[in-house]
Structure 1
Amino acid sequence: MRRAMLLAGILGTLLPGPAQADTDVHYQGLRIPVPAGWEVHHLGPRSTECLRFDRRALYLGPAGEHQLCPAHAVGRTTAIHVEPLTAQTNALVTGLLAGRAETGHPPGLWVRDPAAHEIRIAVPQAGAFITGSYGPSAQDLERVLTHITVDPPPAEGSAERHSGVAHRRSWVRGDGFDTCHAPSLDAMQAWRKHFVAANVYIGGVSRACPDGRLSHDWIAAVRAMGWRLIPTYVGPQAPCGPHRVNFTPDSALDDARAAAKDAVGRARLLGLRRHTPIYYDMEAYHRHDPVCRHAVLDFVDAWTRRVRALGYVPGYYSSVTSGIRDLADAKGIKKPTALWFAHWDKKPDPWEDRYVPRGWWPGHRRIKQYRGDHRETHGGYTLNIDNDAVDGYVR
């Protein structure tokens, strides 16, 4: 993907924005959305984990009696502690019901403590008590708190799911990155605090890096860390592109079907199940060649149909000035469900791009690669990456 944006240029400045993750943690009858970059800590009577409001985190359970806290921890930020209602918290509930409570807010009865920069919520129907902290403004905290919901009771005979069991949607919103090889598990653990999604190249004749660490076990390990993955297949490229392995106008259909079959087979070997999106990486090409353009569209049409027939979700990656524009303008073909477009303008918003109007691929089906090849270091681990703004299909 390093050359995908040669035709689009590099414009603008980096505008970081808040990221929202897709993982809903279930605890004590509540469904709690966990923002991207937050840590989730499970506490308990024997836990020594320090309950701290100076870092963005969700704490589940009662704090232990023997917390190992730093001697000097200063400041507050957005953080949430959820615990069962106890005799102590029930006493606070009584106070809430005595007239200090604000009603009309989900998920329960709110009381604000501006002196402590806290919002406390009693949820009697779930037997839960929530304490949220905030820094200069309570806006981010309120945004999370108002999206906490009470789980419906389990159906008769079904197993109740709670206490940190995550429900995954088919899409995610937040910061992502892609790199040529599968990083070490230590690096993925360190980077998880800053990103919610990562690309993995699962195969293809034009893939530059070998499998390396990529395996069924690697996929399982990083998903257990909370990562959402963007599986990508790099097969033969456009006839008019600057690449060594290309399909031709005559071979486009057969090559696309073969690529789809191979991509799905590799996804299965890696433990990526049915309904997983697989993005075809079509690097930039000279779109003003009509024969080449029609061959690309034939290829994408056949890829989309075959991936869908095999039970997976067809996705497509390309440059906004070639593959994306041609696909959007095309008539009479099957178009991929999910879109990943490259525009290195350093603007991390997949919905405000001058080349990709909002009407194209609406509804959590977009990923924007907004910054190209560079190095970043997080948690002591340096990787060469592209940056992605994700509001699209992942696994």
Structure 2
Amino acid sequence: MVPEREVIRRLVVLGGALSLLLVGLVGPAAAEPETPVSYPPGSTVTRADRLGFDTCTAPSLAALRAWRGTSPYTAVNIYFGGDNRGCRQPELTKAWVRDANASGWRILPTYFGHQPYCMFGTKEHRYGASTATSRGTADATDAVARAEALGLLPGSALYADVEHYDRGDAACRTAVRRYVSAWTKKLHAAGYLAGVYVHQNSGLRDLSDSYDSATYARPDAVWMARWDGSPSLTGWPTAPNAQWSAFQRAKQYEGDHHETWGGVTINIDSDVIRAPVASVAWRHSVTGSAALRARTGPSTTTSVVRTYEPGASLRVVCQATGQRVGTTTVWDRLATGAWVSDYFVSTPSSTGFSPGLPRCVYPGQVTTGSLNARTGPGVSYPTTGRPLSRGALASVMCQKSGSRVGTTSVWNKLRDGRWVSDYYVSNRSDTTWSAPVPRCR
């Protein structure tokens, strides 16, 4: 397969006329199917690898506390918006999200918006092929506003609920693809990842069939409903393992049943999650005896943007490696986008990364059929591990100059320590650094 960014010009027949398309000459890789995410400075992507449950009404914090130490689940969904959301949400507030996250729950945000007109069921609000794009854009716009109101930071994955529908209707299949594509592009423009909840025999099958299509933007993650009792994230009958292959899958493997843990009974569906979820700020405070300087990067050589007095409250988004200060090389990124040394912050560890706090990562989808990862930032370094498939989320932690590939000398260090050329990762630039990714030290 020839990578998209290596194609300078394409001749495409559209209605019998030849159209000339310029692909990837400058700027971001904005073309479908891999659209870039415009991450703002105070953002990160958080991923989960655990069992979870979903239920119609968000449980109380007391119920979550009862389940936290007794059940096998450590992730919970929230139906945070959408015209077709059926359940009232008396518990679901910004404080609930903050406290649930602080107690160790990962949160899977689910938006129950308009549905395809051929959906099985009685939901009132629906879209057709001619309205799907505008509806997907409108639902994503509303989802971002509701996510922000709940404290779900940019970098969070927001999942559109697409219920089971009749695949025998070709126009309806087109409508679903248009809706999901519009949902994805609007979320990416706002700094969020796009997920979708789908049935294995309708939505998943159609999105899998259009996985490489240049007509539709590809969602970052899929959450499949298949009530077969198996929590496997591979071997799915309607999507090959190479699709959504890098922390991009969740599965609802058991539906509509009651479970009791810690004396609390909840009606749930059971899920296994290996995918991006919500990012939520963590509350910590300044521990030093002097004012703490917040900087533009994870180093004391970068500019000071403000100071925090001893005891001041901080909203920590994620942690990354930077210049050593005291006993640690860990720096904390704040919701403002600024950086502070973790040595002066009340996180659990003063020597390394703290359990629970996410690493700072800014993923982009891989744009080539098979991308080799290397031990260092250059093609002279040996390859290591399995290549990344097209559409995989490359979990970029930092960037560094290396050997030139295509139009750029930028290389990305991944969460697992491997390196890939930025030329094959969809983000803000094909030629230079991509904000807000920090430089590797």
C-alpha distance in 2 between matches for 1:248 and 1:207:
19
Write the distance in 1 (CA, Å) between the matches of 2:232 and 2:166: 26
Give the match for residue 335 of structure 1: 218
Query: 1:382 and 1:273 mapped to 2: Cα distance?
Result: 31
- Secondary structure of 1:253's counterpart equals helix
SS at match of 2:236: coil
- In structure 2, give the amino acid aligned to 1:256: G
The alpha carbon displacement at 1:212 in A equals: 1.3
Indicate which of 104, 110, 131 corresponds to 1:232. 110
Q: How far does the alpha carbon of each residue in 1:270-309 deviate from its partner, in whole angstroms, 9 at most, with x for none?
A: 0001101000000000011001110111111111000110
Structure-2 residue corresponding to 1:178: 54
In structure 2, what is the equivalent of residue 312 of structure 1?
Answer: 192
Task: Check the 8 A contact 2:45/2:156 in 1, yes or no.
Answer: no
Report the equivalent of 1:387: 270
SS across alignment from 2:126:
coil
Offset of 1:354 from its aligned partner?
Answer: 2.8
The alignment partner of 1:219 has SS state of helix
C-alpha distance in structure 1 between counterparts of 2:66 and 2:241, whole Å: 34
Residues 316-357 of structure 1: CA deviation (Å, up to 9, x unaligned): 111010001000101221111011111110001112333332
Cα distance between partner residues in 1 of 2:209 and 2:45:
30
Q: Do 2:193 and 2:220's aligned partners in 1 also have CA atoms closer than 8 Å?
A: yes
Superposed CA offset, 1:80-101 (max 9, x none): xxxxxxxxxxxxxxxxxxxxxx
5 Å-filtered alignment, 1:136-175, equals 170-175=46-51
Identify the match of residue 239 of structure 2 among 356, 370, 375.
Answer: 356
Q: Deviations over 1:55-109 (max 9, x none)?
A: xxxxxxxxxxxxxxxxxxxxxxxxxxxxxxxxxxxxxxxxxxxxxxxxxxxxxxx
Instruction: Say whether the 8 Å CA contact 2:157–2:195 is kept in structure 1.
Output: yes
Q: 1:327 to 1:169 in 2, by over 3 A?
A: closer
Match of 2:260 in 1: 377
Question: What is the match of residue 434 of structure 2?
Answer: none
- Alignment partner of 2:127: what SS? coil
- The residue type equivalent to 2:66 in the other structure is A
Over the aligned positions, Cα root-mean-square deviation in angstroms equals 1.2
Q: Which amino acid in structure 1 is aligned with residue 252 of structure 2? A: Q
Q: How many angstroms apart in 2 are the aligned matches of 1:256 and 1:211?
A: 23
Q: Secondary structure at the match of 1:217?
A: helix
* Counterpart pick for 1:221 among 70, 75, 99: 99
Distance 2:243 2:252 in 1: 16
- 2:149 maps to which residue? 269
- TM-score normalised to structure 1 length: 0.56
Using the alignment, how far apart are the partners of 2:112 and 2:259 within structure 1? 24
Q: What residue in structure 1 maps to residue 178 of structure 2?
A: 298
Indicate the SS of the match to 1:231: strand
SS of the residue 1:172 aligns to = strand
2:135 alignment counterpart: 255
Aligned letter for 1:221?
D
**Cα distance, 1:390 vs structure 2:** 1.0
What are the ranges of 5 or more consecutive residues in structure 2 without an aligned counterpart? 1-43, 279-441
Structure 1 letter corresponding to 2:266: L
Structure 1: segments with no counterpart, 5+ residues: 1-167
Whole-Å Cα distance in 1 between the matches of residues 45 and 190 of structure 2? Answer: 21
CA displacement at 1:311 relative to structure 2 = 0.7
SS of equivalent to 1:354 = coil
Q: Which has the higher strand share?
A: 2
Q: Once the 2 structures are TM-superposed, how far is the Cα of residue 169 of structure 1 from its aligned partner?
A: 6.8
Q: What percent of counterpart residues are identical?
A: 41
Query: Do the aligned partners of 2:45 and 2:155 also contact (CA within 8 Å) in 1?
Result: no
- SS of match in other structure, 2:115: coil
CA distance in 2, matches of 1:322, 1:282: 9
Whether the 8 Å contact between 2:173 and 2:206 is mirrored in structure 1 is: yes
Deviations 1:119-171 (A, max 9, x none): xxxxxxxxxxxxxxxxxxxxxxxxxxxxxxxxxxxxxxxxxxxxxxxxx9721
Secondary structure in 2 aligned to 1:222? helix
Q: Which residue of 2 aligns with 1:206?
A: 84
Q: Which secondary structure does the structure 2 equivalent of 1:308 belong to?
A: helix
Partners of 2:238 and 2:130 lie apart in 1 by: 30
Q: CA deviation at 1:174?
A: 1.2
For residue 116 of structure 2, give the secondary structure of its aligned residue in structure 1: coil
Q: Could you say what secondary structure the match of 1:364 adopts?
A: coil
Normalising by structure 2, what TM-score?
Answer: 0.51
Q: What per-residue deviation string (whole Å, max 9, x for no partner) do you get for residues 180-231 of structure 1?
A: 0110111101112221111011100011112211000000110111000000
Residues paired across the two proteins, number: 228
**Preserved CA contact (<8 Å) 2:208 2:238:** no
Distance 2:167 2:90 in 1: 34
Q: Secondary structure at the match of 1:295?
A: helix
Q: Which residue of 2 aligns with 1:187?
A: 63
Distance 1:291 1:356 in 2: 21
SS of 1:341's partner is strand
AA aligned to 1:211 is Q
- The 3-state SS of whatever aligns with 2:224 is strand
Residue pair 2:135, 2:179 contacting (<8 A) in 1 also: yes
